[in-house]
Amino acid sequence: MSKKPIYVTQPELPPLEEFMPYLQKIWDSRILTNSGPFHRMLEVALCEHLGVKHLSLFSNATTALVTALQSLRITGEVITTPYSFVATAHSLMWNGIKPVFVDVDPVTLNMDPAKIEAAITPQTTAIMPIHCYGTPCDVDAIQRIADDYNLKVIYDAAHAFGVQREEEGEMRSILNHGDLSVLSFHATKVFNTFEGGAIICPDAKTKQRLDHLKNFGFVNETTVVATGINGKMSEFNAALGLVQLKHVDNHIAARGAVEARYRELLRGVPGVRLLDRPAGVTPNHSYLPILLGPDYAIGRDGLYQRLREHDVMARRYFYPLISDFPMYRGLPSSDPAGLPVARAAADQVLCVPIYPALQDEDVVRIAEVIRSGAVAAPVVREDVPLLLAA
Ligand code: T4K
């Protein structure tokens, strides 16, 4: 049994000797950044691996989200979800855009397309959903609304590396939907470059604009075409990405095996539910959210605490809701009355550790702690909505 704390995730790293030749090249060439050879190679390799046409690397997903909005000249109001990491809404605020929060769907915890139309005003210019935990949004319904109202769609796809969905008889990347999709390669993600991110776009012209925007707006030595930012990925991060890419499929498979064990061990535990995996989707097992309903004896926070006593650092992704943070809670759309499902999710979800190196004995131990919390006589609180009733 592991003695060290177990965190919600542990970044995967390749064997150091695989990375050393890349470092040697960087040391020899002295090309450290500004769209160097590894940067260019990783863009090509990722397009091929993910099955997307164009991709621009960034230093992280937050800068990429800010830049994605800039590139489409989004202004006014953008419809988004409160059930996400705070960077989603922050990217709007950095552009002077007002976030308009709509509730999420109780099955996927993604933005509920049925709630979008009522939130559209003459100021609305775009929709920014996230593929939460890598579960694909209802991209078809969202696109129909976007087309009807002439809105752009920017997916926060930070969790969706490698996720595919069946379309016309074949598996295709979820990242091809909407106008732009933004990936995160942060240390805590399925594919990491320490820090990093990317924007996926459908055409070369958009990629060129993104490339200018992430390099201060420079087109050449003397021409600046936009108020760009410094969002470039360095050669160190890009080289690491090239090595990580060789292993990522194995890592995702290993995560899948961990998830399967949790599902097996947690089957039938009263008050514990796992999100269903939608049919026709290749998942990436980036997170393992479990829902502790009002019928779970010690409650979500009781379990969070009990796991900590066992040195297991599960995380409440996403609690609090973005709409509860001080800079957002004054917005009309932050009114809890309009966000009952998101609120119930924020109160009931616990993301338990999942990563390739997680030992089976630790999964068993974590599942035992979860099971132990269900044993006390359940107190059913009728004021708390039951998500995903079994
Ligand atoms: N959109 C969405 C939907 C996102 O989820 C995120 C990021 C973004 C946008 C923005 O992407 P980036 O700009 O970051 O590329 C973490 C991550 O920092 C954040 O990237 C991620 N979402 C979010 C869901 O989780 P924290 O504050 O929970 O991180 P932290 O440092 O507490 O890490 C969690 C655990 O992981 C630690 O307890 C231990 C382990 N860990 C972490 C790091 C950084 C390691 O073992 N090694 C490490 O280097 O936010």
Residue-wise pLDDT tens digits, 197-254: 999 999 999 999 999 999 999 999 999 999 999 999 999 999 999 999 999 999 999 9
What pLDDT sits at residue 375?
84
Backbone φ and ψ for 57, nearest 5 degrees, come out as -75, 150
On the question of pLDDT at 86 being above 50, the answer is: yes
134 lines ligand 1 (CB under 6 A): no
Characterize the bridge pairing of strands 77-80 and 124-128. parallel
What pLDDT sits at residue 74?
98
- The protein residue whose alpha carbon is closest to atom 33 in ligand 1 is 188
Q: Which of 63, 186, 188, when mutated, tests ligand 1's pocket best, judged by the most ligand atoms within 8 Å of its CB?
A: 188
Contact status, residue 212 vs residue 57, Cβ threshold 8 Å: no
**Which stretch of 28-32, 106-110, 258-262, 380-384 has the lowest confidence by average pLDDT?**
380-384
156 lines ligand 1 (CB under 6 A): yes
3-class secondary-structure state, position 128: strand
3-class secondary-structure state, position 234: coil
How buried is 220 (Cβ within 10 angstroms: 0-12 exposed, 13-18 middle, 19+ buried)? exposed
Q: Read off the pLDDT band of 389 (50, 70, 90).
A: very low
What pLDDT sits at residue 277?
85
What pLDDT sits at residue 71?
98
On the question of pLDDT at 256 being above 50, the answer is: yes
Kind and range of the H or E run holding 292: strand 288-292
Please give the Cα distance from 223 to 239 (Å, whole number).
29
In the chain, the percentage of residues whose pLDDT exceeds 70 is 95
219 lines ligand 1 (CB under 6 A): no
The encoded tokens of residue 46 equal: 């990722």
Contact status, residue 132 vs residue 109, Cβ threshold 8 Å: yes
Span from the CA of 168 to the centroid of ligand 1 (angstroms): 35
The encoded tokens of residue 54 equal: 């164009």
What pLDDT sits at residue 376?
67
Please give the Cα distance from 27 to 221 (Å, whole number).
25
Peptide bond connecting 320 to the previous residue in cis, omega within 30 degrees of 0 = yes
On the question of pLDDT at 269 being above 90, the answer is: yes
Minimal CA–CA distance to 79: which of 338, 296, 270? 338
pLDDT digits (tens, 9 = 90+) for 277-331: 889 999 999 999 999 999 999 999 999 999 999 999 999 999 999 999 999 999 9
pLDDT digits (tens, 9 = 90+) for 153-176: 999 999 999 999 999 999 999 999
